[in-house]
Amino acid sequence: MNTALEEAIFVHEHRDNLDRQARFDAAVSLAEWGVFSGAQIGTITGLNRATVAKLIGKKDRTGGRLTVESLKPLLHLAQLRRRDEVDVLAVKEALDAGASRRMCARLTGWSEGQLRRQADRAEAMTMKEGVAA
């Protein structure tokens, strides 16, 4: 099953090997998912924001913070969600890598409230471990 996250990871990992037209096509394809902003698509594809704006003509704001470093942790979290499994440390990893709760929710299927509770649990666990060490 191909997802927006899997496509974004693939494009980012291979963008240096893609010619300009292939990066244009990738930007359009990523925009079709409707979850990434123009700036995020630019970061993923290596294209500048103005070029992405011309290609996709995106007017709606998807909002939310996302870094390329957070893509793989978000994919892992989405896979856990599909299996109906919870890993509070995976939530913490995705958020610590630079994804906002809003983007995390949009890309993984978890609600922002669920993510906040899981992140709070992870924080409590790590604080407890720090005290025990």
> Contact 5/67 with Cβ under 8 angstroms?
no
pLDDT in tens, the chain (133 residues): 479 999 999 999 999 999 999 999 999 999 999 999 999 999 999 999 999 999 998 666 677 899 999 999 999 999 999 999 988 889 999 999 999 999 999 999 999 999 999 989 988 887 777 655 4
User: What pLDDT shows up at residue 58?
Assistant: 65
* Global confidence as pTM: 0.85
3-state SS track over the chain: CCCHHHHHHHHHHHHHHCCHHHHHHHHHHHHHCCCCCHHHHHHHHCCCHHHHHHHHCCCCCCCCCCCHHHHHHHHHHHHHHHCCCCCHHHHHHHHHCCCCHHHHHHHHCCCHHHHHHHHHHHHHHHHHHHHHC
Ranges of each domain in the chain: 4-56, 68-132
